[in-house]
């Protein structure tokens, strides 16, 4: 079977449906077969009509004894009503605006119906059920596509329903034979079914256990390809050359002695791992993950000091200008006792510790090698920024930064800089090895000794007034307050639906719109994600503006209230944050733009509106913005209602400040796709869902290593190599 066959070559795919299928990312036969159900409707039991109860999803099979249609003219509505009879009783079925049904299901037709049983004043009826004719004498026919068994419900779009997709897929599945890219030995070793069976069972399982078995096989395939790609990426990086920077124990010890605080054990271990990496003649490729406020920046700075001492330059890249400025202030103070020049270069600002010159002058100092530590945003990647001897790149907040970006920094030089990525999002090590499979991992769990515990409280609607009084008292005592507005969920039909791990959850109703809500990471996902993000930014801005108006005019008219959101220009954001940092603003109302890295020691209150709309990991990030000074800090989790489930979830924040523990709970509650964020990893939906399956991750990683050990160029695995080439075209590593 030619999986590359264009979808338009299939029977029953006309010109009208082609662009709609393309919108779902379905362009070939392969795309169609790998368009995985979001969930299943369970119509495996055929129920006698006499046994039906209200709100039940049921399949009934019987004979049409009467059918009629009538029009309601003011509403231009056509109502079709049929009476269905089996051996036990009769029931009415009702459809709206489908007049052709009256001529399709003529009296005497044997029919199978699947739908929801409803109750009105005239009795039970089936509301808009799916239907199929029974062409044999067997009422309990098992060859049915829409009305018997576990019926797949797919991610849909306007004009392409699950019924139409089943209509396309079922005939193909019944005749499917695909060459498997995994050997029988590999399948046996990992307890997996063959690919043909997996595709048949994922679309039409007899049981939910079969569906899970099929999902596991297909998820393993994606995880395996991801792991192979990561291992090949690592091999490619290890073949490059980087400056070998020897570890100077005396230098590092002296720098640590001058720090205004004591390093934790985890910080010392991470620094040692990084310094040993720098000694090698090939590029370091390390991720340093640490909880909020665990002191990652100072560990990276130790590596930068060692790099500067050896005559090389280091670049610190931050995601925003606000964070770049903050890094500059922090690093400038920590290296004040040395003669190392530190510089800042963003799209709107440029200066060094020894020069307040304009951008051209700062760029000259960088090009000459005077500036040894350069801090900035992606403005550093501009063509007119030349480095003298760049050896280390430090990336803040897990921006993927591969060989291509490093090449952009060093232009045509022979040596590639070492790379250290940092993230404040705690990720369990096994999962980090999957998402960042080409990176070594350093983990900082300990908090510095001077970080005090933050009091966290859940505030129901009845406690708002008391909380507002507390906030006013803190502001009057010259403390400052963050107010976070929730990201508004955008519920539009997307090209790809987030696929749940369990086949019994997620998606939309049969015949309705599946795949709504958070966009997935499918083949066409980037387009829909971009549109969703743009819409979300606009709605975030509106939410912040409304909250700002309410707080500044009604709740705290006597205090200075500021506003910050993602649609502001970088310069404007920097000015607002500087005013807040310098104490000119009492309360800052913001979206999640302040989530990462902002350091305001005088901020003692974090008030989060509709906290139940955020994940635990993100709430923990917000909470980490306070508690950085000498005064007791408090995080107030405002809830929109008294829902027990939300409050039980939020109680985890009240009882623990361990970010790694919260991350595991968050992922268990919301699923890996939501935890990592759309588009962040590049993993397809099934593999993303499978990140909760630690054993499957371990199996895929071990299998990838075994395959590449025995066949480093995949010469003896042509099908797998072909799969990898296809996979690389849809997965972004750099």
For the chain, the domains span: 45-147, 176-239+697-734, 249-444, 455-511+519-676
What helix, strand, coil percent values describe the chain, rounded to 5?
A: 40, 20, 40
pLDDT confidence of residue 40: 92
Token pair 């705290």 is found at 556
Question: DSSP assignment, residue 692?
Answer: G
Which residues of the chain carry a pLDDT beneath 70?
A: 136-143, 397-413, 429-430, 433, 435, 487-540, 593-597, 641-647, 670-684, 688, 730-734
* Exposure class string for 613-622: b at 16+ Cβ within 10 A, else e: bbbbbbbbbb
pLDDT confidence of residue 64: 94
Backbone angles phi, psi at 596, to 5 degrees: -110, 125
Do 665 and 652 meet the contact criterion of CB atoms below 8 Å apart?
yes
How many CB atoms are located within 10 Å of the residue 545 CB? Answer: 14
CA 563 to chain centre: 27
CATH topology of domain 249-444: Rossmann fold (3.40.50)
How many CB atoms are located within 10 Å of the residue 715 CB? Answer: 8
pLDDT confidence of residue 76: 79
pLDDT confidence of residue 492: 33
Region of residue 12 (left: phi > 0; alpha: psi -120 to 50; beta: else): left
Q: Is 501 exposed, middle or buried (0-12, 13-18, 19+ CB in 10 A)?
A: buried
Question: DSSP assignment, residue 555?
Answer: I
pLDDT confidence of residue 734: 40
Closest CA to 519 of 398, 726, 685, 668: 685
pLDDT confidence of residue 640: 76
Angstrom distances, CA of residue 105 to CA of 57, 63, 101, 133, 448: 21, 9, 6, 8, 74
Report the CATH number of the 45-147 domain: 2.40.50.140
Fold match between 45-147 and 455-511+519-676? no
- Assess if CATH 3.40.50.300 describes domain 455-511+519-676: yes
Angstrom distances, CA of residue 310 to CA of 369, 375, 455: 12, 19, 45
State how far the Cα of 28 lies from the Cα of 575, in Å rounded to an integer: 51
């Amino acid at each position: 079977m030619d999986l590359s066959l264009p979808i338009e070559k299939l029977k029953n795919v006309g010109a009208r449906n082609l662009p709609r299928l393309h919108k779902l990312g379905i362009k070939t036969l392969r795309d169609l077969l790998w368009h995985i159900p979001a969930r299943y409707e369970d119509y495996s039991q055929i129920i006698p009509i006499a046994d039906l109860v209200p709100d039940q999803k049921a399949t009934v099979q019987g004979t049409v004894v009467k059918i009629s249609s009538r029009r309601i003219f003011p509403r231009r509505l056509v109502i079709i009503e049929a009476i269905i009879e089996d051996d036990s009783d009769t029931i009415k079925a009702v459809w709206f605006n489908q007049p052709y049904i009256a001529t399709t299901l003529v009296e005497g037709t044997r029919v199978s119906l699947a739908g929801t049983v409803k109750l009105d004043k005239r009795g039970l009826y089936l509301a808009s059920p799916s239907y199929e004719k029974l062409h044999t004498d067997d009422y309990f026919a098992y060859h049915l596509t829409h009305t018997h068994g576990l019926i797949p419900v797919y991610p849909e779009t306007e004009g392409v329903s699950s019924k139409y997709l089943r209509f396309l897929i079922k005939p193909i599945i019944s005749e499917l034979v695909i060459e498997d890219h995994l050997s029988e030995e590999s399948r046996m070793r990992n307890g997996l079914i063959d690919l043909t069976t997996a595709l048949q069972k994922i679309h039409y399982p007899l049981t939910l256990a079969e569906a899970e078995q099929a999902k596991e096989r297909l998820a393993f395939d994606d995880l395996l390809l991801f792991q192979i790609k990561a291992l090949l990426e690592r091999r490619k990086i290890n073949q490059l050359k980087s400056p070998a920077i020897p570890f100077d124990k005396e230098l590092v010890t002296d720098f640590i002695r001058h720090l205004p605080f004591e390093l934790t054990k985890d910080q010392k271990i991470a620094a040692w791992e990084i310094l040993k990496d720098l000694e090698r003649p090939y590029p370091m490729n390390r991720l340093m993950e640490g909880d909020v406020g665990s002191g990652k920046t100072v560990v990276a700075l130790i590596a930068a000091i060692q790099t500067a001492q050896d005559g090389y330059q280091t670049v610190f890249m931050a995601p925003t200008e606000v964070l770049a400025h903050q890094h500059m202030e922090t690093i400038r103070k920590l290296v004040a006792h040395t003669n190392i020049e530190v510089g800042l270069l963003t799209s709107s600002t440029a200066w060094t510790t020894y020069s307040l010159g304009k951008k051209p002058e700062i760029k000259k100092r960088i090009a000459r090698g005077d500036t040894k530590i350069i801090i900035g945003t992606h403005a550093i990647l501009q063509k007119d920024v030349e480095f003298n001897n760049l050896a280390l790149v430090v990336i803040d907040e897990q921006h993927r930064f591969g060989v291509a970006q490093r090449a952009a920094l060093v232009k045509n030089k022979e040596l590639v800089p070492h790379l250290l990525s940092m993230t404040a999002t705690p990720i369990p090590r096994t999962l980090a090895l999957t998402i960042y499979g080409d990176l070594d991992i350093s983990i900082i769990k300990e908090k510095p000794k001077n970080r005090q515990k933050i009091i966290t409280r859940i505030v129901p609607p009845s406690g708002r007034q008391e909380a507002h009084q507390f906030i006013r008292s803190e502001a009057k005592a010259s403390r400052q307050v963050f107010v976070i507005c929730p990201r508004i969920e955008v519920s539009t039909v997307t090209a790809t639906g987030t696929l749940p791990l369990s086949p019994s959850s997620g998606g939309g109703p049969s015949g309705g719109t599946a795949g709504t809500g958070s966009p997935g990471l499918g083949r066409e996902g980037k387009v829909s994600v971009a549109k969703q993000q743009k819409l979300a930014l606009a709605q975030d801005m509106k939410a912040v503006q409304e909250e700002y108006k309410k707080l500044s005019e009604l709740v705290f008219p006597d205090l200075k209230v500021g506003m910050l959101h993602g649609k502001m220009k970088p310069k404007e954001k920097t000015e607002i944050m500087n005013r807040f940092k310098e104490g000119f603003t009492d309360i800052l109302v913001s979206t999640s733009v302040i989530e990462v890295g902002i350091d305001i020691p005088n901020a003692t209150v974090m008030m989060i509106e509709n906290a139940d709309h955020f994940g635990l990991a993100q709430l923990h990030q917000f909470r980490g913005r306070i508690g950085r000074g000498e005064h007791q800090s408090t995080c107030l989790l405002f809830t929109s209602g008294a829902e027990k489930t939300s409050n039980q979830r939020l109680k985890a924040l009240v009882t623990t400040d361990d970010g790694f523990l919260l991350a595991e709970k968050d992922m268990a509650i919301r699923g890996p796709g939501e935890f990592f964020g759309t588009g962040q990893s590049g993993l397809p939906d099934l593999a993303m869902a499978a990140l909760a399956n630690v054993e499957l991750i371990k199996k895929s990683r071990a299998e990838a290593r075994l395959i590449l050990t025995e066949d480093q160029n995949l010469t003896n695995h042509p099908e797998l190599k072909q799969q990898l080439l296809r996979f690389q075209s849809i997965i972004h590593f750099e």
